[in-house]
Amino acid sequence: MFRYICKRIVYLLITLLIILTTTFFLMKKLPGTPFDSERFSLLPPEQQTQMLEKYGLNDPVIVQYGKYILNVAKGDFGTSFFYSGQPVSGVILGRIGPSALIGLQAILIGLSIGLILGIIAAWRHNSGIDYFTMVIAVLGVSVPNFVAAALLQYFIGLKWGILPVAFWESWKCSILPSVALSFSVTAMIARFMRTEMLDVLEQDYIVTAKAKGLNQFKVLMRHAVRNSIIPVVTILGPIVVNLLTGSLAVENIYSIPGIGSLFVDSIKTNDYSTIMGITVFYSSFYIFVMLVVDVLYSVIDPRIRLASNGKGD
């Protein structure tokens, strides 16, 4: 297991380097400079050159790339152009909190409701609750989360005034965005759980469990759920990451100072170092979550052996 994880971390670094390189060169293809375009164009040409010189933007792209990679290797992601002079890592860290809180809450809500719905739907196949779950699943996947966010904001926040409409002042502010984000999670997890459970409930070992005299609840919980959960764990990886990136619209609607809005702003302003910083952050987070998912597999299903461990059997 340890060797496997070490190997995966090496792969992680290689993957990151490839992502960094691609993003770096693509980003340089974007028109414009990190500086305010109107005011920058008013400056005399020698001052323009001076400014570009100061930030090393006059060097050939390949030199800039080399310098950047060296700095990253030292753990220095540079300073933001937009948030004048603040280190990028600081800017990102300051914005992670709200996004992480909303994302985490959305996953917890979606996971628990989704699992329960999926299990009941499969258990009571072709019943009212099964159809209800399928409707929820289709709605949850097809209705974009910003529509849900806007509706929730209008009714619960504005009309009934139960929860804050927007802004980031107390924990209460995180409820509506979390709920808005959780819909699609609920839908996806319910659907995957239901499909897999239906399959598992047909398996011979479920009949064995019934023949032992277990009641339906025990059959479901001890024998069906654990064997059905692998696909859910699989999609949970992308979901976790998606909630951080995809929360962009929701963060905007609720005026939350999260990492999603930071990402968009950085692209709009050609804030090179911030774009790169967030890319590194997202990609390493994604790859890390994938690693966790793969390790979880082997914990859930003993038949799955992690690669370097496989020889013994």
Partner 1 sequence: MSSLLEVENLNVHIKTQLGIVKAVRGVSFSLQKGETLAIVGESGSGKSITVKGIMGLLPNNGKIAEGTVFMEGKELSKLPEREMQKIRGEDISMIFQDPMTSLNPTMTVGKQIMEVLHEHHPEFSKETLKEKAIEQIRLVGLSNPETRFGQYPHQLSGGMRQRVIIAIALACNPKILIADEPTTALDVTIQAQILDLMKELQGKIDTSIILITHNLGVVANIADRVAVMYGGKLVETGNLRDVFYQTAHPYTKGLLASIPKLHEHNQQLFSIPGTPPDLMDPPKGCPFAARCPHTMKVCEAYMPEYTCLSETHKAACWLLDERAKEQGKDGADNA
Chain residues binding partner 1 by CB under 8 A are 125, 203-205, 207-215, 218, 222-223, 226-227, 300-303, 313
**Closer CB to partner 1, residue 76 or residue 301?**
301
Q: What is the smallest separation between the CB atom of 305 and partner 1, expressed in angstroms? A: 10
Beta bridge partners of 79: 87
How far, in Å, CA of 208 to CA of 115, rounded?
Answer: 24
How far, in Å, CA of 153 to CA of 162, rounded?
Answer: 10
User: Which residue, chain included where needed, has tokens 């409820």?
Assistant: 175
**Closer CB to partner 1, residue 48 or residue 298?**
298
Residue 79, amino acid: T
Length of the chain in residues, anyone?
A: 313
CA neighbours closer than 13 Å in the CB half-sphere of residue 159: 7
Q: What is the smallest separation between the CB atom of 161 and partner 1, expressed in angstroms? A: 48
**Closer CB to partner 1, residue 203 or residue 252?**
203
Three-class secondary structure of residue 44 per DSSP = coil
Q: What is the smallest separation between the CB atom of 129 and partner 1, expressed in angstroms? A: 15
Burial letters 161-180, b for 16+ CB under 10 A, else e: eeebebebeeeebbbbbbbb
Closest-CA residue to 183 (of 149, 153, 233, 132): 149
**Closer CB to partner 1, residue 163 or residue 306?**
306
Listed in sequence order, the residues at least 6 apart from 157 whose beta carbon sits closer than 8 Å to its beta carbon are 163, 164, 165, 166, 176
Beta bridge partners of 87: 79
DSSP string, 140-193: HHHS-HHHHHHHHIIIIIIIS--S--S-SSSGGGGHHHHHHHHHHHHHHHHHHH
Q: What is the smallest separation between the CB atom of 211 and partner 1, expressed in angstroms? A: 4
